[in-house]
Amino acid sequence: MALFKIKANGHYKRQLLTIRAAILFFIVWFVCDRFYIDNKVFAPLLAILCSFSSFITHPLQGFNKIWIPRFILVLGAPVCLLAVEILNNTNPFLDLSVAQCFFNLVWYYLVFGLLTLLFGRIKIACVISTIFFTVIGIVNHYVLEFRGRVIFPCDIFSWKTAINVSDNFDFTPDITMIGACLFIFAYLILVLLLPYEPKAKRPKKQISLAICALTIVYIAVFFNTDLMKTFGIYSQQWKTQTNGFVLNFTVSLKYSLVNEPENYSEDIVLNIIENTQPVNSDNNPQPVHIIAIMNESFADFSEYNVPYSADPTPFLHTLTENTIKGTMYSPVTGGGTANVEFEFLTGNSIAFLPANSVAYQLYLKDNTPSLVSQLKSLGYSSIAYHPYKSSGWNRTSVYNWLGFDKQLYQEDTISPYYIRGYISDQSDYENLYYLTDNAGDELLFIFNVTMQNHSGYKLPWTNLDRSIWLTGDMENRYSDADQFFSLMRESDNALRNLISHYSNTDVPTMIIFFGDHQPPLTNSFYEEITGVSMDNRDTSEVLKQYTTPFFIWTNYDIEEKEDIILSPWGLGVLAMKTANIELTGYQEFLYSLMNELPVITPAGYISSNGQVFSRETSFSITKNYEFLIYNFLFDNKRQDNFFFLE
């Protein structure tokens, strides 16, 4: 005990304090490294943090009395950042850039600093700030464990649902949580060792006002300018841990705050609704089963004149009977699947939402109008099926909000067959057969998002034949493209089997098939097949990279059409009209929009006569569309009679 009760003074005392700190450092480092923390950086950091306690003696006098509490205050933000990122399964030393660390720390220091001003006591401010960030980190850790992605602003509105289902989860602390809490515990020991502060001590009034003013200015700049874009920081909504938790949450909050469009008013919305012309659905039989298949990265490169050894999708190109087919202009390319889903299921274009945002993560909530709610009102049951992890893109919540009765993921796939580690299209479609066979003559809507063709295309060729390859000057130069086109042949074969299966059933069936986006092949590949530098393309050339094929097929007679162009928001309307499903008022508006501008994407517009326009071009009908999207997603006075079937 004598080692830890030092009564000596001066130089001798400082020597003993240093010895005590060194002993404590090595004890903590050894214990953590030997028994607990795997990360070779975190263990010595925790040991350093614990050793600081050796230098806090009572009473603090002179220089120490002023600067040790301040040092502990300054230390709080990086300690909390480290603990929250440990809980976020992120190593800030390896996974975050200097800019990301800096802007994360700004938010931590704002909380520590403002609470210090509020209470006038460093000790109280540090304790409250640390507990606040620890609770946030632990909650986020559980969300990450249970749902595979971090907390987003939209989750604030679903906290009641989270509490209702909390009994279904295991909240036993894991090794990661214990490791993070060790940092917090070590820091709180330092704080609690500080002497009692009988009176509040604040900076001079002018300094306090200056700090508050700077805080307000920073927040205004952060949320109202492109400051984050300047540093290459965007809301990360797929690899959701990339920015660090606090920074990603605040950047996502920035994108969540969508301003009301200029000249928007309830009266204008009501006027748009009143002037929407009714549209009659086609006089076709109504299908009993409606299957919408969004095929991952399914693309047709025929327009590019790519020199491959054979046509990757011969069946697709010969499919004409009872088929409406053409080109869909996706809102994204190379990734961003969830936004294509969003457009197809809701009818809303992301062209009028903040750039780089993902509606599934930021803007949807319970009771969102969709194709699902439309068909449900007509007696259809509904299933969402994605043969991969349920954690992606907030689907488990969104599918509930859209009204799906049932969700199925990779663990629900019967006898899965894998290609490159992903469940194959053929295996995916065999599960569709099972679902429709079980449904019999009952009305059923299935929304299926496939997985086979997902990037990257340099994965091992497991269960995949090299059936298609580039020839001529491009041969053996783009192995990723060879793999992608071989995957297209596998998809085309599965597609042939899919159509064959439903051609032989007596149950009236409609299949809506479309690719979500083109694959993320290299820029050099695209430059070679187009002959145009990526930086020198005009709007028309850019839009080519947003094209994917689509078709609507039935196993009964319908009028056949080809060379249709549209966007995902219009495909749902065309499908419902072809299926002789009663349209909502919103779909009637969208149908009139399709007749004027069938393609509306963030990359540009295409009119019904094929004329291409840049995204900046303004049309009165697109302004009306923007108003309706705002009313749909953000207005508390949403016109439900227009968006739902009455």
Which residues partner with 157 through β-bridges?
Answer: none
The token pair that represents 481 in the structure block? 């493209």
CB 251 within 8 A of CB 222: no
CB neighbours of residue 634 within 10 Å: 16
Which residues partner with 446 through β-bridges?
Answer: 291, 383
d(CA 371, CA 643): 10
User: 304, 327, 296: which is closest to 470 by C-alpha?
Assistant: 304
CB 350 within 8 A of CB 357: yes
Beta strands at 418-419 and 289-295: parallel, antiparallel or unpaired: unpaired
Percentage of the chain modeled with pLDDT above 90: 53
pLDDT value for 1: 39
From the number of C-beta atoms within 10 Å of its C-beta (0-12, 13-18, 19+), residue 136 rates as middle
User: How sure is the predictor about 554, in pLDDT bands with cuts at 50, 70 and 90?
Assistant: very high
pLDDT value for 354: 80
User: 214, 176, 172: which is closest to 83 by C-alpha?
Assistant: 176
d(CA 447, CA 232): 35
Phi-psi group of 162: left, alpha or beta (phi > 0 → left; psi -120 to 50 → alpha; rest → beta): alpha
The distance of Cα 112 from the centroid of its chain, to the nearest Å, equals: 30
**Mean pLDDT score of the chain:** 86
d(CA 468, CA 485): 6
User: How sure is the predictor about 8, in pLDDT bands with cuts at 50, 70 and 90?
Assistant: very low
If one compares 402 and 173, the residue with the highest pLDDT of the two is 402
d(CA 216, CA 369): 38
d(CA 432, CA 419): 18
Count how many Cα atoms sit within 13 Å of the Cα of residue 509 in the half-sphere of its side chain.
24
User: How sure is the predictor about 358, in pLDDT bands with cuts at 50, 70 and 90?
Assistant: confident
The token pair that represents 363 in the structure block? 């803007």
3-state SS class at 576? helix
The token pair that represents 488 in the structure block? 């297209």
CB neighbours of residue 496 within 10 Å: 16
pLDDT value for 248: 86
d(CA 525, CA 477): 9
Chain segment 100-124, per-residue pLDDT in tens: 999 999 999 999 999 998 888 888 9
pLDDT value for 142: 82
pLDDT value for 193: 80
Q: Which of 225-234, 361-370, 619-628 has the lowest mean pLDDT?
A: 225-234
φ, ψ of residue 373 in degrees (nearest 5): -65, -35
User: 538, 624, 644: which is closest to 582 by C-alpha?
Assistant: 644
Average pLDDT over residues 284-309: 94
Residue with the two structure tokens 């909530």: 365
CB 423 within 8 A of CB 417: yes
Amino acid residing at 309: S
Element (DSSP H or E) covering residue 41 = none
Residue 582, pLDDT > 70, answer yes
Q: Could you give the domains of the chain?
A: 56-256 (no CATH), 290-643 (3.40.720.10)
d(CA 395, CA 338): 9
CB 295 within 8 A of CB 341: no
pLDDT value for 18: 59
Amino acid residing at 412: D
φ, ψ of residue 328 in degrees (nearest 5): -105, 130
DSSP H helix total and E strand total for the chain: 25, 13
d(CA 49, CA 62): 23
pTM: 0.74
CB neighbours of residue 415 within 10 Å: 8
pLDDT value for 285: 93
Percentage of the chain modeled with pLDDT above 70: 85
Average pLDDT over residues 15-34: 57
pLDDT value for 287: 97
d(CA 623, CA 37): 56
Which residues partner with 566 through β-bridges?
Answer: 328
Which 3-state string (H, E, C) describes 500-558?
HHHHCCCCCEEEEEEECCCCCCCHHHHHHHHCCCHHHCCHHHHHHCCEEEEEEEECCCC
Max alpha carbon distance in the chain (Å)? 98
User: 590, 574, 594: which is closest to 273 by C-alpha?
Assistant: 590
Quote the DSSP letter at residue 411: G
Chain segment 584-642, per-residue pLDDT in tens: 999 999 999 999 999 999 889 999 999 999 888 889 999 999 999 999 999 999 999 99
Instruction: Kindly list the distances between the CA atom of residue 70 and the CA atoms of 21, 53, 112, 199, 407, in Å, as whole numbers in the listed order.
Output: 20, 14, 11, 16, 53
Q: Using omega within 30 degrees of 0 as the cis cutoff, is the peptide bond preceding 59 cis?
A: yes
Question: Which of 182-191, 425-434, 526-535 has the highest average model confidence (pLDDT)?
Answer: 425-434
d(CA 577, CA 348): 17
User: 30, 13, 122: which is closest to 68 by C-alpha?
Assistant: 122
CB 471 within 8 A of CB 306: no
φ, ψ of residue 219 in degrees (nearest 5): -65, -40
3-state SS class at 327? strand
Residues 6+ apart with CB under 8 A from 297: 453, 454, 455, 484, 487, 515, 516, 517, 518, 519
Element (DSSP H or E) covering residue 340 = helix 337-346
Amino acid residing at 561: K
Chain segment 377-410, per-residue pLDDT in tens: 999 999 999 999 887 778 888 999 999 999 999 9
CB 333 within 8 A of CB 547: no
The token pair that represents 621 in the structure block? 């009908």
Angle between helix 205-224 and helix 245-256 axes, rounded to 10 deg: 70
d(CA 510, CA 503): 10
pLDDT value for 2: 43
Quote the DSSP letter at residue 261: P
Count how many Cα atoms sit within 13 Å of the Cα of residue 563 in the half-sphere of its side chain.
4
pLDDT value for 504: 95
φ, ψ of residue 473 in degrees (nearest 5): -65, -20
Chain segment 47-83, per-residue pLDDT in tens: 565 555 555 656 656 556 677 788 888 888 888 998 8
The distance of Cα 510 from the centroid of its chain, to the nearest Å, equals: 30
pLDDT value for 147: 60
CB 594 within 8 A of CB 574: yes
